[in-house]
Structures are given as C-alpha cells and as structure tokens.
C-alpha cells in the first residue's frame, strides 16, 4: 500500500489573504524592532547635540536636536533643548532679521509643544524668554510682547509653584521691566523654595541697592560670598559695599582674602592699602603701599603712601 505524500506549504498553495496577513505581521515586527531602537538613537543624537551646545557650536547642536526630536517627539527635554539652541544661535547673529528668523523657529517649537501639552511649564517659560527678546527687537510691538511674556511666565510659575526656577524667571521679567516690588516678591519666593540660588540673592541685592536699602543688599552679597566666594565678582562688590557703608574692617577682610589668593595682583593690593588708609591703620597702609611700589614701580600711589607715612611718623 502506497504511503500518501505529506502536504508541503508553498507560496503557490497560500491564498492572497494569507500572504497579505504574513506581510503585515513581518512589517509590524520590523516596525516594532525599529520603534524599540529609536529611543536609543534619539538619546545618542540628544547627547551629541548637548555636547555641541556646550562647545557653543549651535548650528551643529540644532541638527542633532532636530534628529532627536524626530526620533522621539514625545520627549519634552529634546524639544526644549532644540528651542534653546535656536535662541542661543540667534544670540550669535548680528542682523536683526536673522535673529528674528531663529527666534521664530524657537517660538514655533514652544507653541506647538504647548498645543500638545498645555500643563507643561517648561515650554511656557521658554516662550516667555522668546517674547521678551521680541520686545527688544520689535519695539513697535513692545507692549504686546511684554504682556504675553508676563502671562507665559506667570502661568509657568503657577503650574509648577514648587520649582524655584519658574519663580526666578518671573522675578527676572519684572526686574528687567523695572517692576521692582513685584520682582522682589518672586525672588523671595524662589529663595523660600531653595535658598542656594545665588542668582536670586544677587538680583535681590541689586533691588535693595537701587532702592537705597544698602544694609539689606550687603546681607545678600555676604550670603553669596560665604556660599561661593568666586561667584561673578562678588568679593569686589561686597568689599565696595562695605567701604560705602564705612564698614572698613569688614572690607579689609575681604581684600586680605583676595591678596592671599592673588598675592601679586595690583587691584586687590591697592584696595587693601586704601582700606587700611581709611581705617587709619597707618602701619598696615604703609606696609601695603610699600609692597605695591616694589612690585609695580610706576604705580600711582605716592600721594596716599606719603600721607600714611606722615601720619605714622606723627604718632
């Protein structure tokens, strides 16, 4: 008795429907694999963009961020960094129309993102920055841009009221537009959340200084100096503030620390010598002026040096 042949499967035996179904399954598998590796490529391109940003190569950063956004359009950070790179690149351009072109690209990114996610404060905060720049570049529409910028900054500060950065951005907006009372409120809010934000201390001190509350300004500068002695030029600012308020001994301590760090720099030595002179510490003033004259032969110090010397000998 003959053994029946086993049926074999071949394309000719498959129906058109089966072939389509198999094709769809294969396509879905390929798409699934591709979608699973896209986040890896997106992160890689984001890192490349971030590195170019750090190097201030903004045009290259933009290209990488654009690729990252196309690969992972759901990632908030990628879109935010792309918009910021547009802004940074605009800042390097000399012509107003070129600046506006790239600021417009940033604006488009942020507005599109807000349309998808109205509750995300980051997009609103960045949009506020763009509008603030528009107010400077398009003065004929300044009021319009400032009004919307304030709205965006305010909305961001409410959406994430525990994030000090959004309170700081709103404070900075008010500061720039000379609304100092409101700026002060939001700088304090940011510091209530995180008192380590040195920029908030520094800007709050500027408001106190501009409104003749010098002791309060000094308190803020002193807090920065303790936390980060190298922040901006805080030793010079604090030293000068102490001198202005005739707190010469405190100013001398600041300048002494500077001289210890930079023993051969003219300005810290000169400020220290002049401070000793104002303190009427004639011996220290004479010694410091003498030190300056030995290091800087042509230094214009003969007047104060001779005066300190005469006072020392008159004792």
pLDDT at 9 over 50: no
pLDDT at 153 over 80: yes
Whose tokens are 């003065």? That residue is 139
Question: Which residues are within 8 A (CB) of 119 and not within 5 positions of it... i.e. 6 or more apart?
Answer: 159
Domains of the chain: 35-160 (1.25.40.10), 163-232 (1.25.40.10)
Structural Rg of the chain based on CA atoms: 32
Give the separation between CA 171 and CA 192, rounded to whole angstroms. Answer: 13
Query: Is-contact 125 169, C-beta < 8 A?
Result: yes
Q: At what angle do helices 180-193 and 164-176 cross, to 10 degrees?
A: 160
pLDDT value of residue 50: 87
The CB-side HSE value for 253 (13 A sphere, CA atoms) comes to 10
**CA-to-CA separations, 300 to 231, 239, 258, 259, 294, in angstroms, rounded:** 30, 21, 21, 19, 12
pLDDT (average), residues 63-89: 89
pLDDT (average), residues 121-137: 96
Q: Give the predicted TM-score (pTM) of the model.
A: 0.79
Q: What are 45-74's pLDDT values in tens digits? A: 888 898 998 999 999 999 999 988 888 887
Question: Among the residues of 14-94, which ranges form H helices?
Answer: 16-54, 58-71, 76-92
Give the separation between CA 306 and CA 301, rounded to whole angstroms. Answer: 8
Tokens of 9: 């499967």
Give the separation between CA 180 and CA 150, rounded to whole angstroms. Answer: 14
Collapsing DSSP to helix, strand or coil, 197 comes out as coil
DSSP calls for 124-158: HHHHHHHHHHHHHH-GGGHHHHHHHHHHHHHHHHH
Q: What are 283-310's pLDDT values in tens digits? A: 999 999 999 988 888 888 888 888 888 8
Query: Is-contact 268 259, C-beta < 8 A?
Result: yes
Q: What are 210-243's pLDDT values in tens digits? A: 999 999 999 999 999 999 998 989 999 999 999 9
């Amino acid at each position: 008795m003959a053994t029946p042949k086993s049926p074999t499967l071949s394309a000719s035996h498959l129906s058109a429907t089966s072939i389509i179904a198999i094709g769809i399954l294969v396509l879905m598998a390929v798409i699934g694999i591709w979608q699973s590796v896209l986040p890896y490529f997106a992160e890689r391109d984001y890192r490349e963009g971030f590195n170019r940003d750090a190097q201030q190569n903004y045009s290259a950063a933009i290209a990488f961020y654009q690729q990252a956004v196309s690969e992972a359009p759901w990632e908030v950070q990628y879109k935010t960094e792309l918009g910021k790179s547009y802004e940074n690149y605009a800042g390097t351009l000399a012509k107003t129309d070129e600046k506006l072109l790239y600021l417009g690209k940033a604006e488009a990114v942020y507005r599109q993102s807000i349309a998808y996610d109205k509750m995300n404060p980051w997009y609103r905060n960045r949009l506020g920055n763009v509008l603030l720049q528009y107010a400077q570049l398009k003065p004929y529409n300044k009021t319009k841009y400032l009004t919307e910028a304030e709205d965006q900054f305010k909305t961001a500060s409410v959406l994430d009221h525990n994030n000090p950065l959004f309170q700081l951005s709103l404070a900075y907006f008010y500061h720039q537009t000379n609304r100092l009372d409101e700026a002060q409120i939001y700088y304090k809010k940011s510091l209530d959340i995180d008192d380590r934000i040195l920029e908030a201390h520094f800007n709050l001190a500027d408001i106190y200084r501009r409104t003749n509350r010098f002791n309060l300004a000094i308190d803020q500068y002193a807090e920065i100096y303790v936390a980060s002695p190298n922040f901006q030029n805080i030793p010079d600012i604090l030293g000068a503030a102490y001198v202005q308020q005739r707190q010469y001994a405190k100013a001398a301590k600041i300048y002494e620390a500077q001289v210890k760090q930079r023993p051969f720099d003219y300005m810290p030595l000169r400020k220290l010598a002049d401070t000793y002179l104002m303190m009427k510490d004639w011996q220290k003033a004479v010694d410091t002026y003498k030190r300056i004259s030995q290091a800087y032969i042509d230094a214009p110090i003969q007047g104060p040096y001779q005066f300190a010397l005469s006072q020392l000998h008159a004792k």
